[in-house]
A = this chain, B = another copy of it.
Amino acid sequence: MTTYVRDFSQGNKDQKDLLGGKGANLAEMTNLGLPVPPGFTITTEACRAFLVAGHEPDGLDGEVDRHLRGLEDRMGRRLGDPDDPLLVSVRSGAKFSMPGMMETVLDVGLNDASVVGLARQSGDARFAADSYRRLLQMFGTTVLGIDGAAFSDRMDAGDLLDVDELRDVIADFKETIRTHTGADFPQDPREQLRQAIRAVFASWHTPRATLYRRHEQIPDDLGTAVNVQAMVFGNRGTASGSGVCFTRDPATGAPGAYGDYLPDAQGEDVVAGIRNTLALTDLAALHPACHAQLLAAMARLERHYRDLCDIEFTIEDGRLWLLQTRIGKRTPEAAVRVAADLVDEGLIDLDEALGRVGGQQLAALMFPRFLPDPDRVAAARGMSASPGAAVGRAVLDSATAVEWAARGEDVVLVRKETTPDDLPGMVAARGILTSRGGKTSHAAVVARGMGRTCVCGADAIEIDVDARCFRVRGGPVVQEGDVISVDGGTGEVFLGSVAVGESLVARGLAGGPVDDPTARAAARLLGHADTRRRLAVRANADTPDDARLARALGAQGIGLCRTEHMFLGERRALVEALIVASEASDRDAALARLLPLQRQDFTEILAAMDGLPVTVRLIDPPLHEFLPDLTDLSVQVALEDERHVADERGHLLLAAVRRLHETNPMLGLRGVRLGIVVPGLFAMQARALAEATADRVAAGGDPRPELMVPLVATERELLLVREQLEQVIGDVERERGVRLSIPIGTMIELPRAAVTADRIALAADFFSFGTNDLTQTTWGFSRDDVESEFVQDYLDQGVVATSPFESIDVDGVGELVRTGVRLGRQARPGLHMGVCGEHGGDPQSIHFFDDVGLDYVSCSPYRVPVARWEAGRSALGSQRRADELARTFASDHPVLAGVD
């Protein structure tokens, strides 16, 4: 027969599945001999049976009776005894922490008779009355489902009521219960307990708990355990109190106990922050014995759990009780530092230290951040598109940004959305803020590439460029030139200047001088990751500066050097000439003028990456992206016509824009299609790269370029382009009298390329999976459109757990990647394969790419350490463990443990 109830002494910390996290840890502490109020745990199995059947499983009631009797015997008191009542708490406790999501009922066992006994035994009538009041309120809302507002009116005065007033409140609350339920508050303590247990079971399925689980990817069918524990009271006068403590500082990771204590209070009062707490050191003065006992317990627990623990404790009449412990939540700084310190202390090895800290936590440390300030209020909020913290004067166009930055001002570029024309302003600005667009809008992608702070889609902001200001909806008007602060990590926008802390971790990892324990710890663990990982890490970098930065951060080459950014700025006129050319000779002339500029780009990047591979992607976007927007230009030309100030050029340009306009540019004339349809374009780029390579060879360098063809769907496309490219490379070899080795590979970024990868492999020297575009086509999603339109709906409704543009969709897109890898290597064993695009820097995705056997990932420079880190963790085979720990650890902010 199934056993549904376990005494604390019957369990241990590894039984979270059955006992929940809280129950398992209470059992562990009990068995360690620590002072835990006795009690028992009703298993998650009982909860699951209850949820399926709609009532308690057979035998549960009897088991509870038996364990309750045991508890009563141990405590020498009986539940709800009118003379000297045993009171119990009834708390939820699931396998995964779901703070505040499910129900708790305290003081079970009080009734009209036992409250008198409690008053007598405690010598504190007010305490007893207040406890009864608490029970009525908690039971009424939690167990009986009465709206909390029905109880709160009378309690606004809170602690200030005296005994008589409390008695009135008790009478009122009992009346409220009768009115709302048609029945009296149950005076039978055992019936109170039965209903409380049932309420905790049922709270598994409240909407907020369901939503939380969906959001945290916690399975819906686990159920919660229920812990029934003898009550101890921190609110029995000045010799009592409650506190929360950590074995190390959860904000910084610094060694040494850390905590808060509140005299004459229960645990929830500490968390609620009703009164100011005392520091743990003050406890030493108040209760030296308890303090010493607590420190010993903390040391014991940390050694036992081999990690930072947090502990809830209560002192009742000078006696210490431990009510809960668990692995403590901590900031990313603390996570890194604690892991390294525990290695030094001999508690864990480097593998375990690395396995415990997620790359996402390292990522959070790579950018400057605003110093903490709980009182700061955001004026607006958008999407955290590119991390970091930017403070500067708001400017409303690119030219102003460049101008003001040139005279030494820090500026933040504020735009409705950005276009390639805004690039100079984005380079000049400390940060970018847009009112439209998602995490993969132009602003977001470019900003991430540059490591520039960016918040996108802050839709409460209404920009009026003509009036040189923007209005925060329902808020103030910000004039151009006013200082604002933008938090790329949280998406918050603040008015005025916020203090910023530099990222010492980033400085340290890039080889700069740093004296900071977290930075040292990060470098040490990253070094260890490098010794473990199989996966190489390259960077996405389009400029010599980016290439140098990436190399400093440990990149083993460039996996994606986009060339479209090289066609902007002052070169735009040449590109425009190329596009609108009606004669082949005009087109050739424009290409001839672009050639030396492009060659110069490549020469510098090859120099910065000397000795390491540089994968150059041939131009990918549709050409009309280099021309003005159709709607804007149409309006402009129509108005010029109306005003009789039209010029011929406007009309010619409009004709070209109309001709090139595409209904779905993402699915139009781009990538390899340009190479086949537009004569000379790819050849010019290949020549520029080949000549740059020859120049580098002549200069004694060790250039290792690779040419990559985007958007290939069939082997024939690749063969046609390959023929062009090899021809050009051969020409340059003959002209320069050198032998150039430039492998030619392809992006696998269309579903068709993935399912025909065996044929494509025969024409490719390497594969690079472009999972951004592959996600768009596999899902039939346009990033630009869906992120602003319905990804939030989809997250809310649980259609997707995370945006497939953030972490690779393993079941769908991942299946195509697996197919591409399998077919490609089937046709050409050992074919070199990597991934470029945003997923290459995403921790969760990196494990997937390692598992499917890619050779490298490529990501933006500041993500390179993150990728090295995760590649190391992946090699440890720690995925499963990492997933479990992620739920316990992950948090970007210092968090005091809540009451579950």
Contacts and interface: CB of A to CB of B under 8 A. Distances in A.
A286 interface: no
Given A630-B631, A638-B638, A677-B793, A780 B720 contact: no
Interface in A776-819: 776-782, 784-786, 789-790, 793-794, 797-800, 809, 811-813, 815-816
A679 to B, nearest CB: 11
Interface in A673-688: 673, 676-677
Contact of A714 (B643, B799, B815): B799
Contact of A676 (B642, B673, B717, B793): B793
Interface string A737-752: 0000000000001111
A667 B752 contact: no
28 contacts: A630-B631, A631-B631, A631-B634, A634-B635, A639-B642, A642-B642, A662-B782, A662-B785, A664-B665, A664-B784, A667-B667, A668-B785, A668-B786, A669-B786, A669-B790, A676-B790, A677-B790, A711-B780, A713-B781, A713-B812, A716-B797, A716-B798, A716-B799, A720-B799, A750-B779, A751-B812, A752-B780, A777-B780
A779 B713 contact: yes
A878 to B, nearest CB: 27
A755 interface: yes
B642 A780 contact: no
A276 interface: no
Contact of A800 (B634, B639, B714, B749): B714
Interface in A718-755: 720, 749-752, 755
A714 B811 CA distance: 10
Contacts of A634: 631, 634-635
Given A638-B639, A794-B676, A667 B780 contact: yes
A546 interface: no
Counting every copy of the chain, the complex holds 2
A643 B641 CA distance: 13
B752 A813 contact: yes
**Among A635, A717, A780, residue most surrounded by chain B Cβ atoms (within 10 Å):** A780
The 6 closest A-B pairs by CB, nearest first: A667-B782, A664-B782, A752-B812, A751-B751, A668-B785, A664-B664
Given A662-B784, A663-B782, A667-B785, 18 more contacts: A634-B635, A642-B643, A663-B666, A663-B785, A664-B785, A666-B667, A666-B780, A667-B780, A667-B782, A667-B786, A669-B790, A676-B793, A714-B799, A720-B797, A752-B812, A755-B815, A756-B811, A777-B778
A642 B643 CA distance: 9
A542 interface: no
A773 interface: yes
A669 B789 contact: yes
Nearest to A711: B780
Given A756-B812, A799-B717, A665 B668 contact: no
A270 to B, nearest CB: 40
Interface string A510-524: 000000000000000
